[in-house]
Amino acid sequence: MRDRQDGGSLPRLVRIMQQLLGPDGCPWDREQTLQSLRPYVIEEAHEVVEAIDRGRPGELREELGDLLLQIVFQSELARAHGWFGPDDVIAGICDKMERRHPHVFGEEKAATSDDVRMRWEAIKEREKGERGLLDGVPVALPSLLRATKIGQRAARVGLDWDAAEGARAKVSEELAELDQACADGDRSAVERELGDVLFALSNLSRKLDIDPEAALRATLARFAERVGAVEVLAREQDGRALSELTSAELDELWNAVKRTES
C-alpha cells in the first residue's frame, strides 16, 4: 500500500490531464466541456457507492481514482476559463475542513458527534449567510436522497414527528389517498399521491435512522439475484427463457428460489 505524504501522485495526475488537454493531446479530451462531463461525474460517484456496498477494496480504489479523475478534469477545464484550478479546489476544501472543525484545529470543545453536527451546521449557516431553509439541497440529487435531505432540513425547525410512529401513520394516510386516487381513475392525482407516499417513506426511514437509498439498493440487489437464479433454474429444467413461461410457472420457480434462500 502506497502512502505518499508529499502528494506526489496528485500532481502527476494533474500533469497528465494538462497534457491530454494540450495542443498535442487527446482529441476526445479536448472536445469535452463541463456540461459534457456531467454524466460521467454522476456515473463515477454511483460506481464508488457500488464498490463500497460490495466490500471490495481493490474495486473501491479503482472507482475512487475514476472519480478523482473527473474532479481534476473539471478543474483543468475551469482553469482554461480562468476560474480556478485543481490546487484551488484542494486549498478550498482544506480551509473548509479546518474552519468547520474548531474542536480539532482550534480551541473549541466538542464531546459528542451530535455536538460536532450542530456546530458544523451553525458554522455553515454563518458562511452561507441569509438563505431559505431548503436552499443548498441540490435539485440534481437522486429524488430519494433529495427527499431525505429535505426531511432533515424541515426537522430542524420542527416540521417533523416526535417519533417514528407518527411518520408510520403518515405512510398509511398517504397510501389511503393513493388508493382513492386509483379508484377515481385520476392519473394526475395518482402520480401526486404516489409521490406523497414515497416522500412519507423517506421520512419514516429517517425517523428509523435507516438510509432509504441503501435499503432500496439492497432490495434491488436481492431481486436481481433471484431473477438470475430463476433464469438458471428455467434453463436447467427445460431450456426455456423466462418470456416463454406462464405466470404460474414463473411463480413456481420464484418460490423455489425463495425456499432455497431460506
Q: Tell me, yes or no, whether 257 lies in a domain.
A: yes
Residue 220 shares a structural domain with residue 204: no
- Name which residue leads in pLDDT, 65 or 4: 65
- In single-letter form, the type of residue at position 203 comes to N
- Residue range 43-70: average pLDDT? 94
Residue 131 near residue 119, CB atoms below 8 Å = no
Q: Tell me, yes or no, whether 2 lies in a domain.
A: no
Q: Tell me, yes or no, whether 193 lies in a domain.
A: yes
Q: Tell me, yes or no, whether 136 lies in a domain.
A: no
Residue 88 shares a structural domain with residue 16: yes
Q: Tell me, yes or no, whether 249 lies in a domain.
A: yes
Q: Tell me, yes or no, whether 137 lies in a domain.
A: no
Q: Tell me, yes or no, whether 4 lies in a domain.
A: no
Which residue from 173, 260, 182 is spatially nearest to 225, judged by alpha carbons? 260
Per residue in 17-55, pLDDT (tens digit) is 999 999 999 999 999 999 999 999 999 999 999 999 889
Residue 68 shares a structural domain with residue 16: yes
Residue 179 shares a structural domain with residue 117: no
CB count in 10 Å sphere of residue 5:
5
Range of the domain at 223: 214-261
The three state secondary structure string of the chain is CCCCCCCCHHHHHHHHHHHHHCCCCCHHHHHCCHHHHHHHHHHHHHHHHHHHHHCCHHHHHHHHHHHHHHHHHHHHHHHHCCCCCHHHHHHHHHHHHHHCCHHHHCCCCCCCHHHHHHHHHHHHHHHHCCCCCCCCCCCCCCHHHHHHHHHHHHHHCCCCCCCHHHHHHHHHHHHHHHHHHHHHCCHHHHHHHHHHHHHHHHHHHHHCCCCHHHHHHHHHHHHHHHHHHHHHHHHHHHCCCHHHCCHHHHHHHHHHHHHHHC
CB count in 10 Å sphere of residue 203:
26
Q: What CATH number should be reported for the domain holding residue 187?
A: 1.10.287.1080
- Residue range 186-190: average pLDDT? 96
Work out the pLDDT band at 1, boundaries 50, 70, 90.
low
Residue 21 shares a structural domain with residue 58: yes
- Residue range 150-160: average pLDDT? 92
Q: Tell me, yes or no, whether 3 lies in a domain.
A: no
Total number of domains in the chain: 4
Q: Which of 104-113, 119-128, 149-158, 194-203 has the highest mean pLDDT?
A: 194-203
